């Protein structure tokens, strides 16, 4: 997007007089604004899908309507079942690298999904969220730094404020967590961070996500075979797993791959800190959970930190992309 705006300015300057520059400038700014709005909408829809997925997992696993391995297997298989036919109808670039996913991305996706479900039943929700998002932040920001990204000071400050809000949200009632659960949730966070960083190179989000989900199915079946004796699933639990896989995971991850093409790894990591806030709002709206003052304060801190990080870079980009004086 930035390259296209710079090209527009160069073309305008070559075109001659100030009127040409003014018209081209207004056109390029208009296009830039439209693209920015589209990216914001896609990112917001993605975060809502992530939050909805968290609610579905909670509704299925917390009351033990289904075991973690069965939930994950149904989730991944249903995601593949929806995405494969969808990828045949959506026009995308073909024949390029990373077009249809990869085994590395699929392995990261499987580790995230399976480890998350297994850890969920052994950790308190607050502790699990803190460990998960801490691991995601560390993995994605490290990946961004290794690829040459250099976050602004305001982005670091926004990250600290948002993380502080998350800690404030989950701190009450935290007890010493189960070490196995901690290890699993750390693995889940690292897996998701790797999957997200690798998604920035995708040229065909639907095909890539479909290919990644398809590759996780044999891994999920292996997990089912290993845990066969402990499997159980009520009808409601299976339906929740289907919804998680087909809608909030499958389609949600396509949107995420679309959004990642316009986000740095650092910004992609930071915006995900809004997911616990959206999930809490969903719990109030759909699970009759009680709103609290702590939730309100932490939401302001988290969303404020996320906004500060995003707007700081947006302001820098606007200055860099402006016309020469």
Asked, for residue 2, whether it belongs to a domain, the answer is no
Take residue 3 and report the two structure tokens written for it: 């390259």
Yes or no: say if 117 and 61 are a contact pair by the CB < 8 Å rule.
yes
pLDDT, tens only, 201-226 = 788 899 999 999 999 999 999 999 99
Asked, for residue 188, whether it belongs to a domain, the answer is yes
Take residue 204 and report the two structure tokens written for it: 């065909």
Greatest mean pLDDT among 67-76, 158-167, 199-208 lies in 67-76
Take residue 190 and report the two structure tokens written for it: 């690292």
Closest CA to 305 of 266, 262, 257, 265: 266
Asked, for residue 106, whether it belongs to a domain, the answer is yes
Burial of 158 (0-12, 13-18, 19+ CB in 10 A): buried
Count of domains for the chain = 1
Distance (Å, whole) CA 71 – CA 242: 8
DSSP 186: H
Distance (Å, whole) CA 123 – CA 50: 19
Place of tokens 């494969």: 84
Q: What is the pLDDT of residue 170?
A: 81
pLDDT, tens only, 48-57 = 999 999 999 9
Residue 240 belongs to what domain range? 21-321
Asked, for residue 13, whether it belongs to a domain, the answer is no
Take residue 75 and report the two structure tokens written for it: 């989730």
pTM: 0.84
Asked, for residue 10, whether it belongs to a domain, the answer is no
Stretch 226-244: mean pLDDT: 96
Asked whether the predicted pLDDT for residue 271 surpasses 80, the reply is: yes
pLDDT, tens only, 134-150 = 999 999 999 999 989 98
Q: What is the pLDDT of residue 13?
A: 43
Distance (Å, whole) CA 124 – CA 111: 20
């Amino acid at each position: 997007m930035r390259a296209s705006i710079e090209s527009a300015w160069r073309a305008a300057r070559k075109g001659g007089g100030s009127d040409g520059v003014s018209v081209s400038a207004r056109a390029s700014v208009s296009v830039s604004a439209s693209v920015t709005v589209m990216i914001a909408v896609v990112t917001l829809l993605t975060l809502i899908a992530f939050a909805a997925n968290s609610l579905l997992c909670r509704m299925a696993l917390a009351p033990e309507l289904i075991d973690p391995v069965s939930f994950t297997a149904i989730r991944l298989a249903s995601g593949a079942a929806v995405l494969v036919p969808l990828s045949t109808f959506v026009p995308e670039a073909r024949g390029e690298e990373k077009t249809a996913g990869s085994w590395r991305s699929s392995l990261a996706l499987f580790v995230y999904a399976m480890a998350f479900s297994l850890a969920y039943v052994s950790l308190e929700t607050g502790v699990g969220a803190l460990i998960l998002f801490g691991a995601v932040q560390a993995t994605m920001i490290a990946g961004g730094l290794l690829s040459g990204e250099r976050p602004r000071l305001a982005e670091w400050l926004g990250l600290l404020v948002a993380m502080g809000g998350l800690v404030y949200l989950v701190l009450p009632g935290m007890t010493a967590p189960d070490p196995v659960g901690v290890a699993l949730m750390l693995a889940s966070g690292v897996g998701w961070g790797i999957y997200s960083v690798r998604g920035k190179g995708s040229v065909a989000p639907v095909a890539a996500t479909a290919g990644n989900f398809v590759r996780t199915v044999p891994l999920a079946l292996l997990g089912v075979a290993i845990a066969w004796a402990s499997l159980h699933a009520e009808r409601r639990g299976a339906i929740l797993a289907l919804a998680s896989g087909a809608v909030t995971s499958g389609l949600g991850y396509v949107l995420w791959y679309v959004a990642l093409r316009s986000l740095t790894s650092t910004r992609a990591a930071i915006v995900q800190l809004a997911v616990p806030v959206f999930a809490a709002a969903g719990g109030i709206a759909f699970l009759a959970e009680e709103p609290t003052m702590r939730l309100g304060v932490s939401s302001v801190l988290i969303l404020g930190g996320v906004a500060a990080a995003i707007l700081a870079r947006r302001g820098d980009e606007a200055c860099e992309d402006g016309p020469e004086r």
